[in-house]
Amino acid sequence: MTSAPPDEPAAPRLRRIAHLDMDAFFASVELLRYPQLKGLAVVIGGGRRKVDELLHQSPDGQGLREPHFIPVADFPLLKDYVGRGVITTATYAARQFGVGSAMGMMKAAKLCPHAIVLPVDFEEVRRFSRLFKSTITEIAPVMQDRGVDEVYIDFTDVPGGQREGGRVLARLIQKSIFDVTGLTCSIGVAPNRLLAKMASEFNKPNGISIVHEEDLKDRIWPLNVRKINGIGPKAGEKLASLGITTIGQLAAQDPQWLIERFGKSSGAWMHRVAWGRDDSPVVTESEPVGMSRETTFDRDLHAVRDRAELGRIFTDLCERVAADLQRKGYVGKTIGIKLRYDDFKIATRDQTLDRYTQDAATIRRAAGLCLKRVPLDRKLRLLGVRVGTLEREGDVPDGPPEPRPPRSREADPYTRPLF
Ligand code: DCP
Ligand code: MG
């Protein structure tokens, strides 16, 4: 390790914020599955994965084909599409024809009839979304999730984050994401989130743009006001009707004039952002520590006399917690219950499993065991089920486990559930 000599003052650390956005994300994910389509015009939209099933079925009816080996000529084309579907995204090759997000498929077919149409695979998209984000946080831990394909990253204190205005670190992140996923992204690095978001679009696809405070006049002011994250179609229209289309024109307005037309906070905000000012921090979302579902009964229920009804509610709560975990992509290890008695006293119990789960039946069995450890002589007002000690599904080495079948009935404490 070498360090700077003590008499050489360290360069001042500037706030450097990056915005990273994946290129043609849903389409690029499909190209990983069908690399033979690389470079071609492909649009994502329309029907379900039935297309895939058809594609994968070999023409002679002899089983399934490998996705890689399906001839390009067998893919469905936009010109043959009939329906009211809308395009979700398009490859850059398709965009050259003027085709893009939110355009009706029939209209797009007129512009680019030979484009290949594929449906979106949300599960696959989510998997790659998690993968590229975890690749980033391994390098730069302060990351804010902004949706399926974009994040903000605070470069300020990360090694390489100051070099060449952030370009060195941006390059490393871009390369790491490509190595791990095979996908490209574009990154803008700037003094704040507002400018970084605009910068990430400057060099799409697979580009890096570095913006400094002094670039405001040349690179930001010529842009349309709609490029400001937060100025939507309505505000854009109103500004246009006032003769303001570029960010530079917005910056030239007297703040008071803007406040009179857009209200105190919006008017002041518009003036601030037009001058490239934004102090908002990159906020790392905290991971949830647990997920729970509970219900208060319409009438107080008794563990023995209302056993059937309680049993149904209990199972339902477990299923709902399991569905929450699955939907959000978590697995948990600690299963807990909460009861409130008719005297409003609360009892909780929990149990930690050997393995992580998101399975309703596993949760139900463990929660049933917890229930055996609480007094049940009073009536109940409320019942809750919680799963804690969460990990992201996929981060757990052995994956979401299946419950092991009990060795024998005698050894199985779950065979006599209370509810
Ligand atoms: N998306 C969507 N509906 C829209 C716009 C986008 O479902 N109206 C989806 C599909 C995109 C993904 O979100 O692949 C990311 O949106 P982007 O705006 O970042 O678009 P892309 O990543 O597809 O392209 P770009 O390279 O311009 O970022
Ligand atoms: Mg994108």
Q: What CATH number does residue 362 fall under?
A: 3.30.1490.100
How much of the chain, in percent, has pLDDT values that exceed 90? 75
Please write the tens of the pLDDT for every residue from 312-349: 999 999 999 999 999 888 999 999 999 999 998 999 99
Please write the tens of the pLDDT for every residue from 392-414: 777 665 443 444 444 333 333 33
Ligand 1 pocket check for 204: Cβ under 6 Å: yes
Q: What is the reported pLDDT for 191?
A: 97
Is the residue at 325 inside a domain?
yes
295 and 410: one domain? yes
Q: What is the reported pLDDT for 7?
A: 47
Q: What is the reported pLDDT for 410?
A: 37
Q: Count how many domains the chain has.
A: 4
What is the domain range of residue 100?
Answer: 24-120
Annotated binding-site residue? 21: yes
Q: What is the reported pLDDT for 4?
A: 46
Q: What is the mean pLDDT of the chain?
A: 89
103 and 78: one domain? yes
Give the residue with greater pLDDT, 101 vs 123: 101
242 and 359: one domain? no
For ligand 1, atom 2, which residue shows the shortest CA distance?
Answer: 88
Cα–Cα distance, 334 to 325 (Å, whole number): 13
Q: What is the mean pLDDT of residues 20-32?
A: 98
Is the residue at 9 inside a domain?
no
The yes-or-no verdict on residue 262 having pLDDT over 60 is: yes
Does 66 participate in catalysis according to the annotation?
no
The residue whose two tokens read 């605070």 is 154
End of a domain among 120, 142, 170?
120
For ligand 1, atom 9, which residue shows the shortest CA distance?
Answer: 88
End of a domain among 274, 300, 316?
274
Please write the tens of the pLDDT for every residue from 370-385: 999 999 999 999 999 9
192 and 158: one domain? yes
Question: In terms of DSSP bridges, do strands 116-118 and 42-45 run parallel, antiparallel, or are they unpaired?
Answer: parallel
For ligand 1, atom 4, which residue shows the shortest CA distance?
Answer: 88
107 and 203: one domain? no
Please write the tens of the pLDDT for every residue from 201-243: 999 999 999 999 999 999 999 999 999 998 999 999 999 999 9
Ligand 1 mean position, distance from CA 125 (Å): 11
Sign of the alpha-carbon dihedral angle for 157, 163, 165, 170? negative
The yes-or-no verdict on residue 160 having pLDDT over 60 is: yes
Q: What is the mean pLDDT of residues 61-67?
A: 81
52 and 149: one domain? no
Q: What CATH number does residue 268 fall under?
A: 1.10.150.20
Q: What CATH number does residue 172 fall under?
A: 3.30.70.270
The yes-or-no verdict on residue 419 having pLDDT over 90 is: no
Amino acid identity of residue 219, one-letter, is R
Ligand 1 pocket check for 146: Cβ under 6 Å: no
SS (H, E, C) the chain: CCCCCCCCCCCCCCCCEEEEEECCHHHHHHHHHCHHHCCCCEEEECCCCHHHHHHHECCCCCCECCHHHCCHHHCCEHHHCCCCCEEEEECHHHHCCCCCCCCEHHHHHHHCCCCEEECCCHHHHHHHHHHHHHHHHHHCCCEEECCCCEEEEECCCCCCCCHHHHHHHHHHHHHHHHHHHCCCEEEEEECCHHHHHHHCCCCCCCCEEECCHHHHHHHHCCCEHHHCCCCCHHHHHHHHHCCCCEHHHHHCCCHHHHHHHHCHHHHHHHHHHHCCCCCCCCCCCCCCCEEEEEEEEEEEECCCCCHHHHHHHHHHHHHHHHHHHHHHCEEEEEEEEEEEECCCCEEEEEEEEEEEECCHHHHHHHHHHHHCCCCCCCCEEEEEEEEEEEEECCCCCCCCCCCCCCCCCCCCHHHCCCC
298 and 402: one domain? yes
